[in-house]
């Protein structure tokens, strides 16, 4: 402590008066070797260390297994094979919880057995104007999908307090990434002029300024509009090593092409018939002739050697000149934050090797994972947006298909989330004794049910077995907090309704058991409405503002088609019940000749006002139920693969536990693409053994929400 008597006296007086100390005391009171430090409102060194098990939602082994492919394999197959040493991972959820689970949980060992994460690339939401809206193509019209409440919450948490909240968000996540990154790994953080200065200081603090490697400038062309300052035509990509000097850098893989002018001037053929480049300043070089180059010279003067004698290109510079994704390019998915594959290709080639694990925790449309797969790397990607996960899923399946078609190997990938276990964490008790834990859990569960009822705008009720609330003339039941709603629970609800003469009831649940068929509970003398509880109920502010919207469970109708010992599945119907925007308000705000697309009771409707008229007309854009289907897939042998999670027991040892569920193994799929908006409604036929089996079908709608249906089939 470096305080003079006067400074000590003044500090005591200020503290007694409950006044803040001047800034200079921060350096006088505490020993700190950091000469420069970034400080923001609410700064803390604490980071999340919660370990929640990952739930496997889907496993994709084959990029669409067809009968024709199976027959071809029996003869001679040149197609690419699946590599089985690692399953790539696409994870839906809050990346803070995901990073904590990866860093501190059982999956850490699986990652380290593969050599650890060697490269992290992230493109966080540095654009303050972003609002998570998405333009979705429906026929010839575009519909703007509003962000879910959880995306609005993420936006508010990131930018609600301006730069302070953004830095707090990125600081904690970068600390977790630092702990997860291999010692010989490196990280790239993509940003622009809005936050690049702050992120540089955060990275200096977490990774250490001595581990700074590059301030890369990505230069691009585009529309120039500013006449008041230089037009901003670059982004910044900051590169840091975990440990300086140990990081991978394959300079030969990213050599830049020599210009035709340079080649014409300096290229020559040596005595052995090899093409060389003449040095431009040989008189200043310690080497008078090309034959004077020795291995030790190459080590001593590597920069000079390759500048003067490199025959394949010149060493890459810390500026990249490449444009955004071309509108007509095959890779263009029209995803708002999509980056060109060429950008990620340069980064991944330079800073990783084949077989290394690459990670992107703000995955967006999946560019990092797509390039990593094509370059023979393993990958982990995550995003908070369901639509992002769905976009990346389709993209990665297409990459698998292309690699297989070209005779190149590919890896399986799985879709994970921690949503189910977030609920469990919410009602987990940390009280040590059994009696105290039981009371604590009871208190938390009651508080949680109260929160759901408030969000649903229902009143609490008592004296019922299954019902906990009432909304107008309907009683409300809430399914289990830590598991899906089962048919048994619905049967209990209906039994109580019949016993007490209840005719109208709502059943709310987070998940619905695989194979749950809502039609089994119709026409039993009770008007049952089944509603999905959105994850947004965890946000009390969203609940207080009435932003949480419950929606009905989607409905799938499927039919098996059996021919001898083969089985196909026909998708017959798919019903959704979304609403977005108030039709009355939209009609009032329409100007003459204007139009707006809304969603009303599961229909996408274009509202428009004719010119020179006040008459509002409408056109239904989703004319067929199949217009809502963006993707669907079939597991021909559901219950073949149990869902096993690895958890740490009370003794601190890792163990495997069956969750009671099964993993959806994606064996066939059809989906819409940018270039092909059609979708098949009958799967390929698959050879199956005779007997009974359960078949699962997953349908993903145009918003990225998925619904699963399981039926029993007897072949």
Write the pLDDT tens digit of every residue in 120-129.
999 998 655 4
Is residue 218 within 8 A of residue 234, CB to CB? The reply is yes
Cα Rg, the chain, nearest whole Å: 30
Q: What is the per-residue pLDDT for 26?
A: 67
Q: What is the dihedral of CA 107, 112, 116, 117, to 10 degrees?
A: 0
Q: What is the pLDDT of residue 466?
A: 94
For 479-549, strand residue ranges (E) read 504-509, 527-532
Q: Mean pLDDT check: name the lowest of 110-114, 201-205, 438-442, 476-480.
A: 438-442
Higher pLDDT, 672 or 29: 672
Which residue has better confidence, 134 or 384?
384
Query: Which among 509, 498, 504 is positioned nearest to 473, based on CA atoms?
Result: 504
- Indicate if the pLDDT at residue 285 is higher than 70: no
> Do residues 244 and 348 lie in contact, with contact meaning Cβ atoms separated by under 8 Å?
no
The 10s digit of each residue's pLDDT in 438-456 is 787 778 778 888 889 999 9
- Which helix (H) or strand (E) segment is 422 a member of? helix 419-426
Rounded to the nearest angstrom, the gap between the alpha carbon of residue 586 and the centroid of all alpha carbons in its chain is: 32
Contacts of 113 (CB under 8 A, 6+ apart): none
Residue 453 structure tokens = 């009822």
Q: Give yes or no for residue 422 having a pLDDT over 80.
A: no
Q: What is the dihedral of CA 272, 276, 281, 287, to 10 degrees?
A: -40
pLDDT reported for residue 305:
44
Quick check: 204 pLDDT over 60? Answer: yes
| pLDDT, position 510 | 78
- Spatial distance between the Cα atoms of 366 and 347, rounded to a whole number of angstroms: 15
Cα 190 to Cα 187: distance, rounded to the nearest angstrom: 10
Report the chain's mean pLDDT, rounded to a whole number. Answer: 82
Q: Is the pLDDT of residue 343 over 70?
A: yes
Phi-psi region of 681 (alpha: psi -120 to 50; beta: other; left: phi over 0): alpha
pLDDT at 704: 84
Res 587: pLDDT: 84
Listed residue (419, 348, 411) closest to 382, CA to CA: 419
The pLDDT score that the predictor gives to residue 714 is: 92
Q: What per-residue confidence (pLDDT) applies to 280?
A: 47
- Residue 431: band (very low, low, confident or very high) from pLDDT cuts 50, 70, 90: low
Among 295-299, 520-524, 641-645, the least confident range: 295-299
Of residues 572 and 512, more confidently modeled: 572
pLDDT (tens digit, 9 = 90+) per residue, 542-578?
Answer: 778 777 878 888 889 999 999 988 999 999 999 888 7
Mean pLDDT calculated for residue range 160-170:
81
pLDDT beyond 60 at 59: yes
**Average of per-residue pLDDT across 655-666:** 84
531 vs 520: CA distance, rounded Å:
16
On the question of pLDDT at 143 being above 60, the answer is yes
Average pLDDT value for residue range 32-37: 60
Q: What is the pLDDT of residue 281?
A: 45
pLDDT score for 629: 93
Higher pLDDT, 43 or 507: 507
- pLDDT of 144 above 50: yes
d(CA 400, CA 82): 9
**What CATH number was assigned to the domain covering residues 90-136+145-250+316-408?**
3.40.50.150
pLDDT at 149: 58
Provide CB contacts within 8 A for 107, sequence distance 6+.
Answer: 54, 101, 646
**Given this model, what pLDDT does residue 303 score?**
46
Least reliable range by pLDDT among 314-323, 344-353, 493-502: 314-323
Q: Using 50, 70 and 90 to split pLDDT, how confident is the model at 646?
A: confident
pLDDT in tens, 74-110: 444 556 677 878 999 999 888 999 999 999 988 999 9
- pLDDT of 460 strictly over 60: yes
pLDDT in tens, 589-645: 888 888 888 888 788 888 888 887 778 888 888 888 998 999 999 999 998 888 887
Which structure tokens are listed for 272? 């052995």
The residue ranges of every structural domain in the chain are 90-136+145-250+316-408, 260-309, 428-480+483-552, 555-714
Cα of 287 vs its chain's centroid, Å: 53
Q: How many percent of the chain have pLDDT more than 70?
A: 81
The pTM of this model reads 0.79
């Amino acid at each position: 402590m470096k305080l003079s008597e006067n400074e000590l006296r003044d500090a005591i007086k200020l503290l007694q008066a409950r006044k803040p100390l001047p800034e200079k005391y921060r350096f006088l009171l505490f020993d700190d070797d950091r000469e420069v430090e970034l400080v923001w409102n609410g700064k803390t060194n604490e980071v999340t260390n919660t370990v929640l098990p990952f739930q496997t939602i889907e496993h994709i082994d084959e990029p669409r297994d067809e009968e024709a492919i199976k027959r071809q394999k029996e003869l001679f197959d040149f197609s690419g094979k699946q590599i089985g040493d690692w399953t790539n991972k696409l994870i839906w959820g809050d990346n803070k919880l995901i990073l904590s689970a990866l860093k501190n949980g059982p999956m850490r060992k699986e990652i380290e057995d593969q050599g650890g994460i060697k490269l992290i690339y992230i493109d966080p939401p540095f654009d303050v104007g972003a609002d998570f809206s998405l333009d979705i193509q429906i026929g010839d019209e575009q519909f703007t999908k509003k962000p879910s409440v959880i995306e609005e919450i993420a936006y508010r948490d990131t930018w609600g307090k301006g730069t302070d909240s953004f830095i707090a968000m990125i600081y904690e996540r970068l600390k977790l990434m630092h702990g997860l990154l291999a010692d010989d790994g490196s990280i790239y953080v993509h940003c622009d002029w809005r936050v690049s200065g702050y992120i540089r200081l955060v990275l200096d603090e977490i990774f250490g300024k001595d581990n700074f490697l590059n301030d890369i400038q990505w230069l691009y062309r585009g529309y120039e509009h500013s006449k008041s300052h230089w037009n901003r035509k670059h982004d910044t990509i900051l590169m840091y090593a975990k440990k300086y000097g140990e990081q991978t850098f394959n300079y030969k893989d990213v050599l830049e092409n020599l210009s035709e002018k340079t080649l014409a001037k300096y290229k020559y053929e040596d005595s052995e018939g090899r093409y060389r480049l003449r040095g431009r300043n040989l008189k200043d070089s310690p080497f008078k002739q090309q034959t004077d180059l020795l291995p030790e010279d190459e080590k001593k003067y590597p920069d000079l050697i390759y500048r003067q004698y490199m025959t394949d290109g010149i060493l890459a510079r810390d500026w990249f000149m490449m444009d955004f994704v071309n509108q007509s390019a095959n890779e263009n998915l029209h995803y708002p934050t999509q980056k060109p594959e060429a950008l990620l290709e340069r980064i991944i080639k330079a800073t990783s090797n084949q077989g290394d694990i690459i990670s992107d925790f703000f995955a967006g449309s999946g560019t990092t994972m797509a390039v990593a797969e094509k370059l023979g790397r393993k990958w982990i990607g995550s995003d908070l947006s369901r639509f992002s996960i769905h976009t990346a899923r389709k993209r990665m399946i297409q990459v698998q298909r292309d690699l297989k078609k070209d005779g190149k190997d590919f890896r399986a990938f799985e879709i994970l989330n921690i949503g189910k276990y977030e609920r469990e964490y919410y009602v987990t008790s940390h009280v040590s004794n059994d009696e105290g834990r039981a009371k604590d859990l009871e208190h938390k569960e009651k508080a949680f049910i109260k929160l759901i009822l408030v969000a649903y705008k229902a009143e609490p009720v008592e004296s019922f077995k299954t019902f906990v609330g009432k909304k107008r003339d309907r009683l409300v039941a809430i399914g289990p907090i830590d598991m899906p709603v089962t048919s048994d629970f619905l049967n209990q609800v209906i039994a109580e309704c019949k016993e007490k003469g209840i005719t109208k009831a709502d059943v709310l649940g987070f998940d619905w058991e695989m194979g749950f068929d809502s039609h089994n509970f119709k026409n039993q003398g009770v008007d049952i409405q089944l509603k999905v509880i959105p994850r947004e109920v965890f946000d009390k502010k969203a609940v207080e503002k009435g932003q949480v919207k419950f929606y009905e469970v989607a409905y799938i109708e499927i039919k098996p088609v059996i021919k001898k010992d083969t089985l196909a599945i026909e998708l017959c119907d798919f019903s959704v019940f979304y609403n977005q925007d108030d039709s009355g308000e939209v009609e009032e705000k329409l100007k003459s000749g204007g139009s707006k697309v809304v969603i009303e009771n599961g229909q996408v409707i274009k509202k428009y006002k004719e010119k020179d008229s006040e008459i509002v007309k409408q056109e239904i854009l989703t004319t067929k139920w199949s217009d809502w289907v963006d993707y669907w897939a079939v597991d021909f042998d559901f219950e073949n693969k149990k869902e096993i999670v690895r958890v740490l027991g009370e003794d601190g040892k890792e163990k495997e536990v069956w969750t009671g569920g099964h993993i959806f193994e994606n064996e066939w799929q059809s989906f819409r693409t940018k270039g092909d908006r059609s979708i098949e409604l009958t799967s390929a036929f698959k050879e199956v053994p005779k007997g009974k089996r359960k078949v699962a079908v997953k349908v993903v709608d145009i918003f990225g929400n998925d619904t699963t249906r399981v039926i029993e089939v007897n072949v």
